[in-house]
Amino acid sequence: MIAFVSGTVAALAPDAAVVEVGGVGMALQCTPNTLSTLRLGQPAKLATSLVVREDSLTLYGFVDDDERQVFELLQTASGVGPRLAQAMLAVHTPDALRRAVSTSDEKALIAVPGIGKKGAQKLLLELRDRLGEPIGARAVGTAVTSGWRDQLHAALIGLGYATREADEAVSAVAPQAEAAEGTPQVGQLLKAALQTLNRAR
């Protein structure tokens, strides 16, 4: 079990980071929230979870142990694999997920790509006694809903774009974010923002 990775950030992508550890580049799958905390060439320490499959070894990186723990707990529910667990954490903070489960908030879970109404109901039942109570007092999704601009902007800066470019990209995807039902999905907005930046170059 690799509990954490500590080293210099060697590369950043929309859904992954490479951290150099002792001359070896460790590739980690990360949420936009985690990526927004990283900067190229700067030191970083990420909590990690290694997912072993017959044909692959995938390392997932997290901003802290709490996010990693929730990622692993989510996968104890039937039908939830690492990709869906990561998608849930891309849309909601760990505390927002705890609150959604403790208050039986179906809409919060349906906001995650890949989760429908029946799936949300099933997850609420299975996860109720596993995630625990929310640590903070924020409402479900409040941090993500009110802060998608900040998260997206920070992620673009972390990928090496200038502040002006990041500002323009955030403005370009704002209509898409405002038109979305429920919580804006930062991961999808990041992909859309990168497309607008690539077209502008």
What are the DSSP calls for 71-99, one per residue? HHHHTTSTT--HHHHHHHHHHS-HHHHHH
Distances (CA, A) of 28 to 11, 32, 46, 127, 176: 10, 12, 9, 26, 28
**Cα(first)–Cα(last) distance of the chain, in Å?**
42
Q: With left for phi above 0 and alpha for psi between -120 and 50, is residue 15 left, alpha or beta?
A: alpha
Residue 185 · residue 91 · CB < 8 Å: yes
**In the chain, where the domains are located:** 4-62, 70-127, 142-200
DSSP H helices in the chain? 32-35, 65-74, 82-91, 94-102, 106-110, 117-127, 142-158, 163-179, 186-200
3-state secondary structure of 141: coil
DSSP state at residue 113? T
For 121-130, what is the mean pLDDT?
A: 88
pLDDT band at 153 (very low <50, low <70, confident <90, very high): confident
pLDDT band at 175 (very low <50, low <70, confident <90, very high): confident
The residue with greater pLDDT, 153 or 4, is: 4
pTM value is 0.68
142-200 and 70-127 share a CATH fold: no
What kind of architecture, by CATH, is found in domain 70-127? Orthogonal Bundle (1.10)
Q: Which CATH number applies to 4-62: 3.10.20.30, 3.40.50.2000, 1.10.630.10, 2.40.50.140?
A: 2.40.50.140
pLDDT at 47: 95
In sequence order, the 6+-apart residues with CB closer than 8 A to the CB of 201 are none
Residue 38 has pLDDT above 60, yes or no: yes
pLDDT at 162: 80
User: What CATH class is the domain 142-200?
Assistant: mainly alpha
For 24-43, what is the mean pLDDT?
A: 92
